[in-house]
Structure 1
Amino acid sequence: MNSVQEGRVALVTGAGSGIGAAVARKLAAQGAQVVRADITATDGGVVVDVADPRQVDELVAGLGRLDVVVHAAGVDDPRAKQRIADALEAGRPPEVTASLDAEAWRRVMSVNLDGTFHVLRAAVRAMVPRRAGTIVVVGSSSAFDAPAGYPHYAASKAGVHALAQAVAKEVIPFGVRINVVAPGPTDTGMAARTPAVLRQAFAGLPYATPEQIADVAVFLAGEESANVAGAVVLANGGRFTV
């Protein structure tokens, strides 16, 4: 019996590590032909900066066929995290926004929000004419709990959620499904760079593994979720609900 993704062409962004790498492995194990894309060279993958629309468009156009997209590429802001950590250790509220420069704001927005637009647009262009396709975007629980001192990241992910849901409503009549998985703290390289005091703030609940979040993404990318479109699925271990 064929695997559930047998013969399908899947593009995974952010596939060099963490959630994206776990998704790529799981889709490949299910029989998909996986194109792994990342900002840096990956084993057998392609280099693409999702903040650059030309690179994204050229990558997708070159595939010829596209059945599944899992968009996991994203960035955080280590300097802002350190300022939050310093404030926690000093027993004072974090003060980040007043000193947040336009460059830091633009970096987070250009990758997280603009990059999602570029990937969604390219994927829709490829899928709508075929009247088929599934897209999964990796968002963040930060879009809901909006951590103090992290306004640019929270805003970028909230924008990602709204963007994906708006496009999902537009393309579902054409047979294309878009959903979002919104992880909480996850044990990725990004989390490993998080200051210890911030990691301890989440000590009440375990960090998810990339594989656990990938399981949700792969479910949303498969036929088992055929009636799910425009959803934002919280995957934060019950840290909070909305």
Structure 2
Amino acid sequence: MGGEYPGRFDGQVALVTGAGSGIGAAVVRRLAAQGAEVFAADIDGRAAEAVAKELARAHPLTVDVAESAEVDQVFGEVVQRHGRIDVVVHAAGVDDPTAKEWIAEARIADRPPEVTGRLGDHAWRRVTRVNLDGTFHVLRAALRAMAPRGSGAVVTVGSSSAYDTQAGYPHYAASKAGAHALSQSVAKEAIAFGVRVNTVAPGPTETGMAARTPAALRHGFADPRVRPYAAPEEIADIAVFLASDEAVNLVGAVLLANGGRFTI
């Protein structure tokens, strides 16, 4: 799909977070292939550099989205260099490998998971700071950059886990559900200034995060009645569509991309 739209984003400036791997990296490649000047931002600066190095119109940036000052700095840098930002895709996020291991151990032992009582403040805050606070930091910076110009498109990457909440994964589910609601609230405010905000909510996707998922949990997500794990490019295609003029009437949408595992 990415190669079918050359020139789709000609002349546009885009910023992608979580751009060093997975869905974010796939979005960078799609946007660059479709004509955008893309800034690939990631907490892992070397990973961002590796992705940007592949492409003629991509530039690496280092940012921890949990730190508002860093987010404001990278947005400021892009605006300073190009005078505007037309597209933002916020794909940065984290999971909790320790909680996943606890859930997998319980599944193997055929007992209910016991996670919430063992979940420390640090683990809770780590997930919510990146997934929820980080989404706020990016949305706020995007509006500050876009609203004065009266145009722009923002896409946040949520999760189907916000709806099909997994036992033993409360912090991740809460952070993503909060990010969905946050994005929808901001969308209703931002459209008055010509800025569209939408969300894609992937199901299981073959990313680095998925690679760290214990086999017992991966097998639990496998179901011959639905599509297998999505490729990052498949989710990127949805995000890029939401950012494009073809989605001009989509505002505050949350598009489920879970291969048919459930509907809402």
Q: Work out whether 1:140 is the aligned partner of 2:159.
A: yes
- Structure 2 distance, partners of 1:224, 1:124, is 21
Please state how far the C-alpha of 1:162 moved relative to its aligned partner. Answer: 0.2
Matches within 5 A, 1:70-81: 70-81=89-100
Match of 1:230 in 2: 252
Say which of 228, 232, 238 aligns to 1:210.
232
- Structure 2 distance, partners of 1:119, 1:10, is 13
Say which of 61, 71, 74 aligns to 1:46.
61
- Structure 2 distance, partners of 1:89, 1:3, is 50
Please state how far the C-alpha of 1:33 moved relative to its aligned partner. Answer: 0.2
Greater Cα shift, 152-161 or 200-209: 200-209
Equivalent AA in structure 1 for residue 101 of structure 2 = Q
Match of 2:73 in 1: 58
- Structure 2 distance, partners of 1:59, 1:192, is 29
Say which of 129, 133, 157 aligns to 2:176.
157
Match of 1:195 in 2: 214
What is the CA deviation profile of residues 145-166 of structure 1, one whole-angstrom value per residue up to 9, with x for unaligned ones? 1100000000000000000000
Match of 2:24 in 1: 20
- Structure 2 distance, partners of 1:142, 1:182, is 8
Match of 2:186 in 1: 167
Match of 1:30 in 2: 34
- Structure 2 distance, partners of 1:2, 1:223, is 14
Q: Say how many residue pairs are matched.
A: 242
Q: Determine if contact 2:85/2:145 at 8 Å carries over to the other structure.
A: yes
Identity value in percent: 67
Match of 1:184 in 2: 203
Q: Determine if contact 2:159/2:200 at 8 Å carries over to the other structure.
A: yes
**TM-score, length of structure 1 as denominator length:** 0.99
What residue ranges of structure 2 are gaps of 5+ in the alignment? 53-59
What is the CA deviation profile of residues 189-221 of structure 1, one whole-angstrom value per residue up to 9, with x for unaligned ones? 100000000000011040000000000000000
Match of 1:241 in 2: 263
Task: State the 4+ residue runs in structure 1 displaced beyond 3 angstroms.
Answer: none
Q: RMSD across aligned C-alpha pairs, in angstroms? A: 1.0
Equivalent AA in structure 2 for residue 124 of structure 1 = L
**Residue aligned with 2:107, SS:** helix
Equivalent AA in structure 2 for residue 61 of structure 1 = G
- Structure 1 distance, partners of 2:6, 2:197, is 24
Q: Determine if contact 2:19/2:91 at 8 Å carries over to the other structure.
A: yes
What residue ranges of structure 1 are gaps of 5+ in the alignment? none
**TM-score, length of structure 2 as denominator length:** 0.91
